[in-house]
Amino acid sequence: MFLTFMSIFTLLAVAAMPGTSFAADGYLYTSERFGYSIKCPEKPLAVINLSILSPQEQGDVLIFETDGHNPTKYWVVSPNAFSNDTFPDLDNLTDEARQDLFTRLAIERGYEAISLVPIQGHNAIYAVTAKTIQIDTDKDGQVDKTIEQEGQNIETYFKGAKSNYCIVLSSKSALTEDDINNYQYGLLSFNEKTELTDKEELRLL
C-alpha cells in the first residue's frame, strides 16, 4: 500500500514540474493504426492487437516480459475505452462528488487506491487494483474469504483530443518501483495525432 500511494505522489510531482523532459533512453513506440505515440522503457518484445484478447475492445498490447508464450508484464493502450458519460467532469468535481466517485469505483472495480492526476491538461482517473480481495460470500455483512490476485494493474482513464483512452500497466507479479516510474513517464509522454489521413480513418472503422 505504501508503494501504491508513493506511485501516485510521484506522478503528481513530476507532472507539476514546469518544463518536464523525459530521459533520452527508452523506446518511442508509435501506433499508426490508432494514431498515438508513447515512450516505453525499452522496445516491446511484441505488439499485438487488443481485439485478439478481448474481441469487443480495440487498442494495442505492448508486451515487455513473457513466460513462454504468456505475457507477464505489458501495457495496454486502448482508444474509445469509455463513453463520455462514464465519469463526471473530472476537472470540476466537488470534494464530496470526488469521494463518492472513488468509493463507487473501488467497489465496482476492486481498486485499492484511486486518485485524480493531471494528464494532457485535464484530470484523469489513476487507479491501482487490489492485490488482495476480501469477499463476503454469504452476504451476512462479514468478510469470510480472502483471494490473492495473480497480478496487479494500474489503470489510467483520460480524455484526449479525439478519443477517450485507457492505458494499463499489467504485471503477473508484484509491481516494482521501476515498473511504476516507467509507466508514469509513459503516461506523461503520451501524444496523439489530432488529424488522421483518410486511409488511417478507414483502418479504424
- Taking only the tens place, the pLDDT of each residue in 64-96 is 999 988 999 999 999 999 999 999 999 999 999
**Whether the predicted pLDDT of 25 surpasses 50:** yes
The percentage of the chain sitting over the pLDDT mark of 70, rounded to a whole number, equals: 80
Q: For residue 58, report the phi and psi dihedrals to the nearest 5 degrees.
A: -125, 155
Element at 76 (helix H, strand E): strand 70-78
pLDDT of residue 80: 94
In the predicted structure, residue 149 carries a pLDDT above the cut 50:
yes
Three-state DSSP at 5 gives helix
- The reported pLDDT for the residue numbered 8 is 53
C-alpha cell at 64: 515487455
| Confidence (pLDDT) at 22 | 46
Task: Give me the torsion for CA of 110, 114, 40, 189, rounded to 10°.
Answer: 150
Those residues with Cβ within 8 angstroms of residue 199's Cβ, 6 or more apart along the chain or in another chain: none
Provide CB contacts within 8 A for 23, sequence distance 6+. Answer: 185
Residue 19, Ramachandran bin (φ over 0: left; ψ between -120 and 50: alpha; else beta): left
The secondary structure of 8-57 as a DSSP string is HHHHHHHHHSTT----S-SEEEEETTTTEEEEESS--SEEEEHHHH-TT-
Comparing 199 with 145, the larger pLDDT belongs to 145
What is the value of pTM for the model shown?
A: 0.80
Contact 38, 168 (CB under 8 A): no
pLDDT in the model for residue 16: 46
Give the span between the Cα atoms of 158 and 181, in whole angstroms. Answer: 19
Distance of CA 169 to the CA centre of its chain: 6
Work out the average pLDDT over 52-59: 91
Q: Comparing C-alpha atoms, which of 135, 133, 131, 134 is closest to residue 153?
A: 131
So what's the pLDDT on residue 18?
A: 43
Q: Please give the mean pLDDT across all residues of the chain.
A: 83
pLDDT tens figures, 91-121 = 999 999 999 999 999 888 889 899 999 998 8
Residue 136: predicted pLDDT = 63
pLDDT of residue 21: 42
pLDDT digits (tens, 9 = 90+) for 125-140: 999 998 777 666 777 7
Q: What is the mean pLDDT of residues 147-172?
A: 91
